[in-house]
Structure 1
Amino acid sequence: MIKCIIVEDEVLAQQVIQSHLQKAERFELVGVCNNAMEAQALLNKYEVDLMFLDIQLPGMTGLNFLRSLNNPPLVVLTTAYAEYALESYEFNVIDYLLKPISFDRFSKTISKIVDGKFVLQNKTESGDVTGDHIFIKSNSKFFKIDFPDIIYIEGMKDYLKIHTQENILVTHQTMQEMEQLLPSKQFIRVHKSYIIAVAHIKSIYGNSIEMGKATIPIGISYKEKVMNLIAR
């Protein structure tokens, strides 16, 4: 189950989000808060995976509250004002919902979360990813992974093994989807089943790449890309 809280001071908006959540599977609402202080108390009490956060709250705004958190859960911002959308991008939120929130629009946000296929960083005009981390869903939990911690990614049909410096996470995604989540300057696909972190390359020889204790094969169709990396 994905544990979530609603941080919203408008009763009607609280009821709408609660009603939408009741129609969605795999979500457990552990609390509804009227302000940032109540939300902080719930975050201290429960392991919260997802927070629906209103931008305009009494006492402290939702954005200031989010800014104060050292390790926030996944966040969906809610507001009646579209002009806050641009400012919200700096917080790497999953989505930005305008009130009144329709179930159709809410469902699209929920689908991103359940599938675990969302980008929590911005992209440049050229389409490359900025930011320093992604969130990955593995065993019903969302893990924050910093890009420098990723050594390589191994494809297994519709699943991926993400090898980091601390552990290995298995997630239900494709290699193509993962490529879109990673910054191209830091990662390179060297085989139909492997994406590697350039920073963790120890050596390249023949059709193989040493990555720490692992040896990664270079696919024939990816050889030129690897050679261009060496030349660069």
Structure 2
Amino acid sequence: MKKIRCLLVDDEPLAITLLQNHITRFDFLEVTATCPNALKAFETLKSKDVDLMFLDVRMPVIDGIEFLKMLRNPPRVIITTAYRDYAIDGYDLDIVDYLLKPITFERFFKAIERYLRYASQPAQPLVSSDAAPENIVLKSGYRNVKVNVADILYMESVKDYVKVYTLDATIVTKYKISDMESDLASKNFLRIHRSFIVNQQHITAFSASDVELGKKELPIGESYKEHVIRILKK
């Protein structure tokens, strides 16, 4: 097995030492670097290849969660912290696992198992090959959620995430809205704004400035207006 390159980010030397000791028990893990704060970690990520980052939360200057939000293409991440309150944040950021200090070897082992499952999963196309009804598969946290395309009302871009609003749920997925637009262009979806894509089947009314999906109104972006109105008038 190819060595998995690990970056350890923690301002506590004892925590770094414990992780190093756990890692040495696996032949396929290696420590690429250790960093006492997020700034050093950022420099390391620019200069070294990293497969898996163990990231503490409470650190000086920039905390781990904020640092992770700033990264455009982070490696796989396992959060390590003494505070349970950050579990939801970690989940939203699509981390591999959340380890509560002090980290036992048994719990560390399970986290590595989970990482290996993540790493072995092939990339899935957004649109599935199912017959009718047609579905898309959205990765949300640890789950892969299958959604009927016809049930999607609209999608909203929020920074590095897309919120997918369906008839009965809202799903948050780490996906670029431009990629979503490309993948669903042939499925009767229409980009009406830099932040919104709508399912044309659910549009109940429209004007030169907005579209309506029942009681929900969404703005039409100025640069999209001509194209949107032309499509909707067909």
CA drift of 1:146 comes to: 6.6
RMSD over aligned Cα atoms: 2.8
Q: Deviations over 1:108-144 (max 9, x none)?
A: 1111223x2x4xxxxxxxxxxxxxxxxx537xxxx7x
In 2, distance between residues paired with 1:36 and 1:63?
Answer: 10
TM-score where L is the length of structure 2: 0.54
Please report how far the alpha carbon of residue 101 of structure 1 lies from its aligned counterpart in structure 2 after TM superposition.
0.4
Which secondary structure does the structure 1 equivalent of 2:60 belong to? coil
1:78 aligned onto 2:40:
no
Please, which of 55, 61, 64 is the counterpart of residue 63 of structure 2?
Answer: 61
Match of 2:32 in 1: 30
Question: Which residue does the alignment assign to 1:19?
Answer: 21
Q: 2:53, 2:78 within 8 Å by CA — same for their partners in 1?
A: yes
Taking the aligned partners of 1:103 and 1:23, their CA distance within structure 2 comes to: 9
| 1:184 maps onto 2:146 in alignment | yes
Secondary structure of 1:85's aligned partner: helix
Three-state SS of the structure 2 residue aligned to 1:184 is strand
Distance 1:146 1:41, change over 3 A: farther
Encode CA deviations 1:139-184: one digit per residue, 9 max, x unaligned: xxxx7x4752x6659xxxxxxxxxxxxxxxxxxxxxxxxxx95322
Larger Rg: 2
Higher RCO (C-alpha under 8 Å, 6+ residues apart): 1
Amino acid at match of 1:183: V
Share of identical aligned residues, percent? 36
User: After the TM superposition, which residues 145-224 of structure 1 pair with which residues of structure 2 at under 5 Å, given as runs?
Assistant: 145=123, 147-148=125-126, 152=129, 182-185=144-147
Partner deviation per Cα, 1:185-214 (whole Å, 9 max, x = no partner): 259xxxxxxxxxx96999xxxxxxxxxxxx
Displacement, 1:47? 1.5
Q: 1:42 maps to what in 2?
A: 44
C-alpha contact 1:6 1:53 (8 A) present in aligned 2: yes
Question: Which residue type is aligned with residue 16 of structure 2?
Answer: Q
Which deviations, in whole Å up to 9, do the C-alpha atoms of 1:198-232 show, x marking residues without a partner?
A: 96999xxxxxxxxxxxxxxxxxxxxxxxxxxxxxx
Give ranges in structure 1 of 5+ residues lacking alignment. Answer: 119-135, 154-179, 188-197, 203-232
Structure 1 position 61, deviation (Å): 0.3
Residue pair 1:186, 1:199 contacting (<8 A) in 2 also: no
Aligned residue type for 2:145 = P
Give CA-to-partner distance per residue, 1:31-69, whole Å, 9 cap, x none: 000011110111011111100000011100000100000
Distance in 1 between the 2:30 and 2:19 partners?
Answer: 12
User: Counterpart of 1:32 in structure 2: which amino acid?
Assistant: T
Quote the Cα distance in structure 2 between the aligned partners of 1:90 and 1:72: 14
Q: What letter matches 2:110 in structure 1?
A: K
Matched with 1:211 is none
Question: Residues 77-156 of structure 1: matches in 2 within 5 Å?
Answer: 77-114=79-116, 116=117, 118=118, 136-137=119-120, 145=123, 147-148=125-126, 152=129
User: After superposition, what is the alpha-carbon deviation per residue over 1:65-87, rounded to whole angstroms, capped at 9, x for unaligned?
Assistant: 00000000000000011111122
After TM superposition, the runs of 4+ consecutive aligned structure 1 residues lying more than 6 A away are 198-202
C-alpha displacement of 1:88: 1.8
Contact 1:95 1:109 in 2 (8 A): yes
Partner of 1:193: none
